[in-house]
């Protein structure tokens, strides 16, 4: 087709330029020709600080193991879009895929991929029925720990008053398990009245607004307990804005924002689920199993451990070296420090993954 108009010609050139920019970061065909193991890493949402910690660890594993890693995921958490991303990875010819499984509707599709010969390892979100190992925390148990720690801070079994519980993604199995553990612990105090669990949304702004509304409606609450990554930071900001120094804030994950809330005293407890292990281990397991011809097409569980953090103490799993709160804050913003710290886990617990795999029922025990 001849483009006679000069305006149209310039327009076409500009568009071609746009396309060129778009593919500028692409691996060259020459690189593709050199056969290297390629791992697909699919997350359920892009742009989340906690998920980014997992992605960073996965990339560290790929670098250590000398493999290529392709990271992708939907912009908004939706199982069907994520499954399509996994299927696209499989079609693109990766040798193995690590993926979180936030939705039951992904299960059949993932099993079809496993059946076709591409190994899969799950992380962070367990898909019940997926024929693959899962790397994650013991979700009910971590909920029990969080619930107990909050209860201890508000008076133990004799506590009397309201505790607000928020779930950013109702129905997400891992969160439902955490919730079950938290509620189980809170029940031990007959005088505690649970408000919720309320849907506090994943998006940072909506999460803040939800917690703000809950505190405004329950200004006499003794504690606020969240189950997701944005909660501790939001709870801290909300209690600070309301000048409420009495309410105890607790939740999950050790993002920079959450640690800041603990440091300034506006929140009190945050449990980590060791995102380093959740990112590193799946890649390691995939590469090791591919190189050694080990079949991993059965459900199993590798515990990523629970980190317990307050402003004054940090308890790490797997007999890792003691950390101060300041060390932890520094690690949250430094990939090099994080990698160095977890070296014993890489050389020990992750390297012996086969020995450390447990039945998948252990995840919710």
Number of residues located near another protein, criterion CB under 8 A: 54
Residue among 3 and 242 whose Cβ is closer to another protein: 3
Q: How far is the CB of 217 from another protein (least distance, A)?
A: 19
**For residue 134, with 0-12 CB atoms within 10 Å meaning exposed, 13-18 middle and 19 or more buried, which class applies?**
buried
Closest among 88, 127, 69, 94 to 283, alpha carbons compared: 69
Residue 213, interface with another protein (CB under 8 A)?
Answer: no
The residue from 64, 65, 84, 335 that contacts another protein (CB under 8 A) is: 84
Residue 79, interface with another protein (CB under 8 A)?
Answer: yes
Residue among 106 and 267 whose Cβ is closer to another protein: 106
**What character string, x for contact with another protein (CB under 8 A) and - otherwise, covers 162-191?**
-------xxx----x---------------
Q: How far is the CB of 330 from another protein (least distance, A)?
A: 23
Q: Rounded distance, CA 249 to CA 141, Å? A: 19
Residue 81, interface with another protein (CB under 8 A)?
Answer: yes
Residue 109, interface with another protein (CB under 8 A)?
Answer: yes
The residue from 46, 194, 204, 311 that contacts another protein (CB under 8 A) is: 46
- CB burial of 237-257 (b: ≥16 within 10 Å; e: otherwise) equals bbbeeeebeebbbbbbbbbeb
Q: How far is the CB of 319 from another protein (least distance, A)?
A: 33
Residues 6+ apart with CB under 8 A from 334: none
Residue among 40 and 236 whose Cβ is closer to another protein: 40
Q: How far is the CB of 299 from another protein (least distance, A)?
A: 15
Stretch that binds another protein, among 13-21, 136-144, 149-157, 265-273 (CB under 8 A): 13-21
Are 128 and 257 in contact, with CB atoms under 8 Å apart? no
How many helices (H) and strands (E) are present in the chain, helices listed first? 15, 13
Stretch that binds another protein, among 79-87, 145-153, 229-237, 275-283 (CB under 8 A): 79-87
Q: Is 18 left (phi over 0), alpha (psi -120 to 50) or beta?
A: alpha
**What character string, x for contact with another protein (CB under 8 A) and - otherwise, covers 49-78?**
------x--------------xxxxxxxxx
Q: Rounded distance, CA 72 to CA 100, Å? A: 11
Residue among 87 and 356 whose Cβ is closer to another protein: 87
Residues 6+ apart with CB under 8 A from 234: 200, 204, 207, 208, 210, 211, 226
Alpha-helix runs per DSSP H in the chain? 6-22, 29-33, 49-65, 79-91, 107-115, 139-153, 173-186, 204-217, 231-241, 256-263, 275-292, 325-332, 335-341, 343-345, 353-356
Which chain residues interact with another protein by CB under 8 A? 1, 3, 5, 8, 11-12, 15, 18-19, 21-23, 25-27, 29, 40, 43, 46, 55, 70-81, 83-85, 87-89, 91-93, 102-109, 112, 169-171, 176
């Amino acid at each position: 087709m001849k483009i006679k108009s000069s305006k149209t010609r310039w327009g076409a050139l500009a568009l071609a330029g746009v396309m060129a920019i778009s593919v500028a970061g692409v691996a060259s065909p020459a690189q593709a020709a050199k056969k290297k193991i390629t791992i697909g890493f699919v997350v359920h949402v892009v742009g989340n600080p906690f998920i980014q910690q997992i992605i960073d660890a996965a990339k560290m594993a790929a670098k250590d193991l000398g493999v290529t890693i392709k990271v992708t995921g939907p912009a908004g958490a939706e199982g069907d879009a994520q499954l399509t991303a996994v299927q696209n990875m499989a079609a693109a010819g990766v040798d193995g895929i690590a993926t979180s499984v936030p939705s039951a509707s992904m299960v059949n599709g993932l099993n079809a991929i496993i059946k076709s010969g591409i190994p899969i390892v799950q992380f962070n979100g367990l898909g019940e029925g997926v024929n693959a190992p899962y790397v994650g925390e013991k979700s009910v148990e971590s909920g029990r720990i969080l619930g107990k720690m909050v209860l201890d801070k508000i008076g133990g079994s004799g506590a009397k008053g309201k505790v607000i519980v928020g779930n950013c993604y109702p129905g997400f199995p891992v969160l439902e398990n955490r919730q079950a553990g938290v509620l189980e612990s809170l029940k031990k105090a007959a005088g505690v009245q649970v408000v919720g669990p309320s849907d506090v949304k994943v998006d940072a702004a909506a999460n803040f607004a939800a917690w703000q509304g809950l505190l405004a409606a329950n200004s006499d609450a003794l504690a606020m307990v969240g189950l997701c990554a944005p909660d501790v930071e939001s709870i801290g900001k909300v209690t600070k804005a309301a000048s409420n120094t009495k309410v105890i804030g607790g939740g999950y994950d050790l993002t920079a924002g959450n640690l800041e809330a603990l440091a300034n005293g506006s929140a009190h407890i945050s449990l980590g689920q060791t995102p380093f292990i959740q990112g590193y281990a799946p890649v390691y397991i995939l590469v090791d199993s591919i190189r050694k011809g080990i079949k991993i097409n059965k459900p199993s569980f590798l515990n990523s451990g629970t980190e317990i953090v307050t402003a004054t103490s940090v308890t790490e799993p797997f007999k890792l070296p003691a950390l101060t709160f300041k060390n932890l804050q520094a690690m949250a913003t430094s990939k090099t420090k994080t990698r160095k710290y977890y070296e014993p886990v890489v050389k020990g617990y992750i390297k012996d993954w086969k020995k450390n795999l447990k039945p998948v029922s252990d995840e919710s025990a």
